[in-house]
Amino acid sequence: MGESWATLGVDLHLELGGSRLRRGLTDAVREAVRSGRLAPGTRLPSSRSLAADLGIARNTVADAYADLVAEGWLTARQGSGTRVAERAAVAPDSATAPRPRSPRGPTHNLEPGNPDLASFPRAEWLKSARRALSAAPHDALGYGDPRGRVELRTALAAYLARARGVRTDPDRIVICSGFVHGLRLLAAVLRRRGLRSLAVESYGLDVHWGVAEAAGLRTVPLPFDELGTCTGGLAGTRAGAVLFTPSHQFPMGVPLRPDRRAAVVDWARRTGGLILEDDYDGEFRYDRQPVGALQGLDPDRVVYVGTASKSLAPGLRLGWLVLPPSLASEVMSAKGGTDWSCGVLDQLTLAEFITSGAYDRHVRASRLRYRRRRDQLVVALASHAPSVRATGIAAGLHAVLQLPPATEQSVVRAAAWQGLLLHGLTRYRHADAAAEPYDALVVGYGTPPDHAWAGALDALCRVLP
């Protein structure tokens, strides 16, 4: 634990008040280093400790430290705290100043959207690959059906019915190389049908909106409130389709309420619209029974999209579209006459992995691991950052941490200088969204390997206000 400021023998004369306080603290520390009162290598108090000593907000101290690290006066390394840079002190009358330094690469990764890749079931996957290759007919190694291998489509139809309540058969499933590929196929089909607009959620991924817009579809964000995405405004958008994450809204983390689920299905039936359901992490629910797929309410109006990216690894590049009968032939046509995009051996391996029961075992083990991390995150916040509230944590691999107003950018910046990769909520907000923005972090607790999780959690707590 670092020393208090008083024991360092440095007297700071600060002018209190707004941004002047941060500037005053930055100038005082810089002058203490320049004059030699703070020697190179001196460990400074933690932002929490210094804030308590000075009676100011912790975020003010974190911002000042981040500025001084950026200028090269201080260094910040995991495990050794914040220290005076070895070559920072210069003579008081010298005009020489340290060169600004760039942030280091991340020491800890809390970026949302990734599973723990170190937990990929290599041994079981290899066993499945050997069995699948041994049993594969010779023609399986040809160019292949554009829908994908029938073995995988059959395995998925049974698994999705059992685990997610999806109603389908193998002929209505098309294998794709992940969600973006599937969305690109769907957007092309919708545009050829004459659609001009796609309704989307106010918070989501800009890469998805970009795919739709590249196909010629304007994305129209739906209103968002404390209960999640508002479906009542769909009629006013004049959109012919809507893209949803109904089981666990990304990134806000709330499931679509039953009345709103019914409302969006009713809209699709009345207008002939289509619902594109992104079930990106449906397997990982912790506190109650899983929320079933929206597709089960109306398989003729909902396109279900799933992938192995969260349950196994994004590098597999395996996803699937469960299509209404009216759409299947058009999507297959958009994909092409043969399966150019998805490796046959990986498809066969995943089919064997599912039918052997290895997939279920892996998901159960992963669910326990991620739930334990979620619980540890909640406990750490209560202990070290009680003013920060975690939401959207009943499911998935990420949490939304609500911050005090006007602090998001400074926390993200301070985290970057501490070698901690995480995202602010602002980056997920649609540019045309009417929802009031608020300050929050989107923290992926599934990303770090087990050995790095404790360190990542500790680093996170250090930068929170």
Buried b (16+ CB within 10 A) or exposed e, 34-44: beeebeeebeb
Give the side-chain half-sphere CA count within 13 A for 261.
20
pLDDT digits (tens, 9 = 90+) for 87-97: 544 433 333 44
pLDDT tier at 437, thresholds 50, 70, 90: confident
> What confidence category does residue 100 fall into, taking pLDDT thresholds of 50, 70 and 90?
very low
Check residues 138 and 338 and name the one with the higher pLDDT: 138
pTM of the model: 0.79
pLDDT band at 78 (very low <50, low <70, confident <90, very high): low
Q: How far is the CA of 59 from the CAs of 67, 410, 413, in angstroms?
A: 12, 8, 11
Residue 53 has pLDDT above 90, yes or no: no
Say what the pLDDT of residue 85 is.
83
pLDDT of 340 above 60: yes
SS3 assignment for 391-405 = ECCCECCEEEEECCC
| Angstrom distances, CA of residue 104 to CA of 75, 76, 99 | 10, 10, 15
CA distance 205 to 227: 20
> What are the φ/ψ torsions at residue 311 (nearest 5 degrees)?
-75, -30
Which tokens in the block code for residue 309? 């990216």
Q: pLDDT tens digit string along 388-407? A: 999 999 999 999 999 999 99
